[in-house]
Amino acid sequence: MQAIDLLLTRRSVKPQDLIEPAPDGVDLDRILEAGIRVPDHGKLSPWRVQVIRRQGQDVLGDLYAQLFVKEHGERASQAQIEAERQRPKRSPLLLAVTAHPEREHPIPVLEQHHSNGAMCMNILNAAHALGYAGNWVTGWASRHPAVKQALGHDEETEIVGFIHLGTAKEAPEQRPRPDVAEIASEWTGQA
Ligand SMILES: Cc1cc2nc3c(=O)[nH]c(=O)nc-3n(C[C@H](O)[C@H](O)[C@H](O)COP(=O)(O)O)c2cc1C
């Protein structure tokens, strides 16, 4: 497939619809290499990625369940607690992409964050190019200090995304998107 067709056909696939095989070995290396091949103003490398396989997902899932119970007390149903436990375990592979901007630097932190977003996007496109699929999610866990701490980060560190990866159980349907004409226009400088 031509590169342009890959870009025009990529779709996110719900984490629970991602099954084995997940990228590993050379494929995962290439996906991560594509991830760092992004615009990065000032060459600051403001991104980090953690690869979370089944063992790590189990630990993370137990933490989510524990935090959910702690925060919702008796209002938390068993089904909700189990759903939270499953949250990071829905796909065979999970990546945690975190932002590590240099705060006292002439390159604005926002620009460094843009580079992080570009990394997530390149990871998704590279996975698609190799025949896998993914989904970039955040949710409450990505903002929770205890989750950041468990992953080895301080409270200021932003989890830019959890990227679920695997193989699509079935080909995803297309979703409606705006016409390019709705969001793109020509500016000529003339009144
Ligand atoms: C920063 C960011 C966070 C997101 N977080 C979630 C999320 O927590 N849950 C979710 O269902 N979709 C989330 N999405 C949307 C999906 O990643 C995806 O864009 C959506 O399912 C549409 O699919 P598409 O990529 O095929 O257009 C997020 C997107 C971005 C850019």
Domains and CATH numbers, the chain: 11-52+89-170 (3.40.109.10)
* CB-facing half-sphere around the CA of 156: CA atoms within 13 A: 5
pLDDT digits (tens, 9 = 90+) for 88-143: 999 999 999 999 999 999 999 999 999 999 999 999 999 999 999 999 999 999 99
The stretch 24-49 carries a mean pLDDT of 98
Asked if the model's pLDDT at residue 144 lies above 90, the reply is: yes
Count of Cβ atoms closer than 10 Å to residue 80 Cβ: 14
φ, ψ at 35 (rounded to 5°) = -60, -35
pLDDT digits (tens, 9 = 90+) for 46-57: 999 999 999 999
Cα(74) to centroid(ligand 1), Å: 30
Residues with CB under 6 A from ligand 1: 11-12, 135-139, 161, 175
Cα(106) to centroid(ligand 1), Å: 31
To test the ligand 1 pocket, which listed residue (136, 160, 164, 177) has its Cβ within 8 A of the most ligand atoms?
Answer: 136
Cα(161) to centroid(ligand 1), Å: 9
Percent of the chain with pLDDT over 90: 99
Asked if the model's pLDDT at residue 191 lies above 90, the reply is: no
Cα(135) to centroid(ligand 1), Å: 7
> What number of H helices and E strands is found in the chain?
8, 5
**pTM, whole model, 2 decimals?**
0.97
Q: Which pLDDT score is estimated for 35?
A: 98
Q: Which pLDDT score is estimated for 38?
A: 98
d(CA 52, CA 89): 10
Q: Which pLDDT score is estimated for 163?
A: 99
Confidence band for 179, pLDDT divided at 50, 70 and 90:
very high
Asked if the model's pLDDT at residue 71 lies above 90, the reply is: yes
